Structure formats: structure tokens, C-alpha cells
Chain A
Amino acid sequence: EAGVTQFPSHSVIEKGQTVTLRCDPISGHDNLYWYRRVMGKEIKFLLHFVKESKQDESGMPNNRFLAERTGGTYSTLKVQPAELEDSGVYFCASSLTGARDEQFFGPGTRLTVL
């Protein structure tokens, strides 16, 4: 069974540009999460989807970030326009709904904004 995949693995863009990150969760996982780790800081939660619905978006830093999960399968996270402080590693995770809360993480996308 394939794990959580993320694309791209690295992205280097200039300030003001737009970047879209993609996450493909494990097949059958209704829950999808986005996290990020900016330089020198802790891994922080961004938002949580249950199928196609946003269950918790309390961690989204501002309205330059837009996450979607159309059809309840893969998800995209768009940053528009990107700022220098957006640089970091963006992780996606997925989990089953039910008794187990284990989240399976993807390898992350390293975003560098110049």
C-alpha cells in the first residue's frame, strides 16, 4: 500500500509568486492534515479535512493560504502571494476515522521563498 505522497519535494520561488503544494493521502483515509515547520520553529498544525470538508482550519496563518480537497481525495495548499516567512517544510498527514488516531505523514515539501 502506498503511503502519503507529496509533490513537489522542493520548490524555490520568489516573493510575490504563487505556489501550489499537493498531497495524496493513503487510499481510504478520510482525515487529511496539513502541518508546517518554519526555520527554527516547531511543527505546527495548519488545517484538517474530513473528506472534502474543512473540520478545523484554526492553524491557517492568514488569507494568503488556501487549502482544498475537492472530491475528498487529494488536497492542495496554495500560497498566494508567497512571502519570505512562508519558507519551511510543509507536511501532509492522513488517518482513518475511528478508534485509531495514528497519523501517517508524507515526506514533506520544502518551500523556499527568495
Chain B
Amino acid sequence: SQQGEEDPQALSIQEGENATMNCSYKTSINNLQWYRQNSGRGLVHLILIRSNEREKHSGRLRVTLDTSKKSSSLLITASRAADTASYFCAKVYTGRRALTFGSGTRLQVQP
């Protein structure tokens, strides 16, 4: 499958701790995007990293991309209870515009 894997499937941490989620993919990508979904709501775009980039920052978010390992990670620093949500990695494969989503990581931040 081209969808790849995300890990962990679920993560529970305390407020103030950092959360790291990982994503892998199988073939060449144009870019990789991370989305958040709060329970019962739509997907919110967090950050996009292109295939020629290695690291991007946005506020408390840090995304890395290792094209040699075909993997990406999302780091949320100093987590807050409001960060509780499901996080999805979505790949845009070369030659396409559609997003290919992973299975997601359910993050629970305990106050």
C-alpha cells in the first residue's frame, strides 16, 4: 500500500511535555502535510513540508522530513490540553495532487 504507516497509533502525555508522531511512506513525494482533527470536526491544516526541505517550524510545531528513509516526524512542544486531537500525515505523491492519508495518531494531553 502507498498509504504508509503512522506511529504511535495513540499517545497520552501530560501538559507541558513534548509529543512526537512519525509517518512513513513508500514512493517519491512532492510534499507531505500534517493535519489535525478534533473529535467530530473537520481537518485542519497544520504544516506542509516539501520534498527538498528537511525541517519546518510553525509556532510549537516542528516537522522534519528524511527522504532517504521516506519518513517524517511531527513534534509538538510544550503540549496543552487543547492539543488533544487526532493527527494525520498526508502525502502528495509525485505526479498527483491528491492527499494520501495515514491512519493517524490519537493524542491525549492530560491537564
List residues of A whose CB falls within 8 A of some B CB.
Answer: 4, 31, 33, 35, 42-45, 48, 55-56, 59, 91, 93, 95, 100-108
Contact = CB atoms under 8 A, between A and B. Distances in A.
Interface residues of B, number: 23
Contact of A45 (B30, B35, B99): B99
Contacts of A107: 41-42
List the 9 shortest-distance A-B pairs measured between CB atoms, nearest first: A105-B43, A107-B42, A43-B101, A45-B98, A105-B42, A42-B103, A102-B45, A42-B101, A108-B42
A102 B97 CA distance: 10
Interface in B54-100: 88, 90, 92, 96-100
Contact of B99 (A4, A35, A100): A35
A73 B98 CA distance: 19
A43 B45 contact: no
B42 A101 contact: no
A48 B92 CA distance: 13
Contacts of B3: 42
A105 B92 CA distance: 16
Contacts of B43: 43, 91, 93, 105
Contacts, number: 56
B24 interface: no
Interface in B15-36: 30-31, 33, 35
Contacts of A56: 96-98
A72 to B, nearest CB: 16
Contact of B48 (A42, A91, A93, A101): A101
B102 A42 contact: yes
